[in-house]
Amino acid sequence: MGALMETISTAKSHGGVQGVYRHESKATGTPMTFAVFVPPQAANGPVPVLWYLSGLTCSHANVMEKGEYRAAAAAHGVILVAPDTSPRGEEVPDEPGNWQFGSGAGFYLDATQAPYATHYRMYSYIVEELSALIAAEFPADMSRQSIFGHSMGGHGALTIALKHPDRFKSCSAFAPITEPSTADWSRPALEKYLGTDAGVWRAYDAVALIEDGKRFPEFLVDQGSADPFLETGLRPQLLAAACASAGIPLTLNLREGYDHSYFFISTFMADHIAWHAARLGR
């Protein structure tokens, strides 16, 4: 790999390569670690890119170790990129006792409030900086990209797709936070990162973005019926109502008995990858 990036580890898997990498981020002002699976088809030329955004308390490692995505990514010939969820380091402001804010809880936004604005710039990091690095360092066909995620990462995937419908061919989510500006576990974080003007929060709220005119061709959402955060934090019915009002097709699968964990995500991971692959021309 090039000088921009340090290779932490690589391992062969399903004929492809699972790697973990680190680079110095200008967006966050910190080192950032991310995982990339490159399928065997990439030996013959660039292949599509599928972004996976993780949830609260997670890093790149959670989906890499528990998500069970490599067989499907290899079968369909797509690169899967798993970024971290926040900047990390001694200089990064944090609330160690609060799992819903700070380290592991970047909410895929660009903070505007001190002291968080210097480092918590995950929106710019994903959309601009890491995208450019993937294009430069991997056999990636950046004209064919899709995005999905879990919980906070589902929120990130939905909002990024809605703001960049020309970049992403498809978007799906596992148990996404659909309206973070009013949810118990995200509203306090938005206030700390973005200030007290709730109108500003709408730029990082999927339901609000749809209400404000943003559009995407369709969404796929899987949600466990036994998810303990279903009614207080996730509330997929709000996304369903917004999509219905806007005429956005939404496939919402309520999976009986499944919770919020990677046992749930890994069960339906191959379905999501196949759904994206079809829209990526694979």
Q: Is 227 a catalytic site residue?
A: yes
Given the residues 94, 205, 222, 227, the one annotated as active site? 227
Give the pLDDT confidence of 173-197 residue by residue, as tens digits: 999 999 999 998 899 999 999 999 9
Active site residue 150: no
pLDDT at res. 4 = 81
Residue range 209-225: mean pLDDT, rounded? 98
The CATH number of 6-279 is which of 2.40.30.110, 3.40.50.1820, 3.40.50.300, 3.40.50.2000?
A: 3.40.50.1820
Tokens of 141: 């066909």
For residue 146, indicate whether it is catalytic.
Answer: no
Task: Give, in order, the Cα–Cα distances in Å from 31 to each of 84, 159, 219.
Answer: 11, 25, 33
The pLDDT value recorded for residue 1 is: 37
Compute the distance between CA of residue 115 and CA of residue 96 in angstroms, rounded to an integer.
15
Task: Please write the tens of the pLDDT for every residue from 48-86.
Answer: 999 999 999 999 999 999 999 999 999 999 999 999 999
Domain ranges of the chain: 6-279
Q: What is the pLDDT of residues 4-55, one digit of tens each?
A: 899 999 999 999 999 999 999 999 999 999 999 999 999 999 999 999 999 9
Q: What is the average pLDDT score of the chain?
A: 97
Query: Of 60, 150, 155, 260, which is the active-site residue?
Result: 260
Query: Which 8-state DSSP code applies to residue 75?
Result: H
Average pLDDT rounded to a whole number, residues 168-173: 98
Joined together, the tokens standing for residue 219 give: 């969404």
Sheet containing strand 16-24, edge to edge, reads 6-13, 16-24, 31-38, 79-83, 47-53, 140-150, 168-174, 219-224, 250-255
The token duo for 254 is: 């309520």
> Which of 25, 131, 151, 186 does the annotation list as catalytic?
151
- Is the model's pLDDT at 2 over the cut of 50? no
Concatenating the DSSP letter of every residue in 221-248 gives EEEETT-TTIIIII-HHHHHHHHHHHT-
Query: Mind listing the pLDDT tens digit for each residue in 146-168?
Result: 999 999 999 999 999 999 999 99
Residue 255 pLDDT exceeds 70:
yes
CB 259, CB 227: distance < 8 Å = yes
